Amino acid sequence: MDYYVDIHLRPDPDFAPEMLMGALYNKLHRALFGLQAADVGASFPGYKHGVRARTLGNHLRLHGTQARLQQLMSADWLTGMRDHTQVSEVTTVPTNAQHINVARKQFNTGSESRAKRYAKRHNISDEEARKIYAKVAARRIELPFVQINSRSTQQRFSLFIEHRKPQKNSVAGAFNHYGLSSNATVPWF
């Protein structure tokens, strides 16, 4: 993870930044899936969490080796987004950078299908299960998310993203096709 590429969203009067980031991130997922890349990490320098302030911001940073990032950026995955983005060159990470884990966080959101499965597993009525799950659904999630169309399952879902605390040392590991990892870190600066 010695190199990075910055992608900034340009202001657009017709599209909210969240919508543009969602489109950009879906395109990144398709590109990483197509390359079967497990060595590209993503971070969001404008990331904020909190019930009222949650946002990924307007800045996506991709991390990897120089060769992998050049391969990714030479692919045509930004088609349709070029007017909405400003893309940097592949650049060396600053030597004093800290490191951070950026991971997917899954929540039990109290969906109808989950309530039905719970009722069946615990031999209770659907109504009782819905009441139990209503409490879960009322919880306020503080993490930002994007709506993703999974390339592997063809499902659409909310991908919640968590930036954990910065640390001095890097942790090596694999990244999924969303550029996220449960344990590996990316440079944070």
Catalytic residues: 29
- Element (DSSP H or E) covering residue 148: strand 145-149
The span from the CA of 69 to the CA of 112, in Å, is: 41
The span from the CA of 97 to the CA of 91, in Å, is: 13
Selection from 151, 158, 112 nearest residue 132 by Cα: 112
The span from the CA of 106 to the CA of 5, in Å, is: 27
Is 107 within 8 Å of 20 (Cβ atoms)? no
Phi-psi region of 44 (alpha: psi -120 to 50; beta: other; left: phi over 0): beta
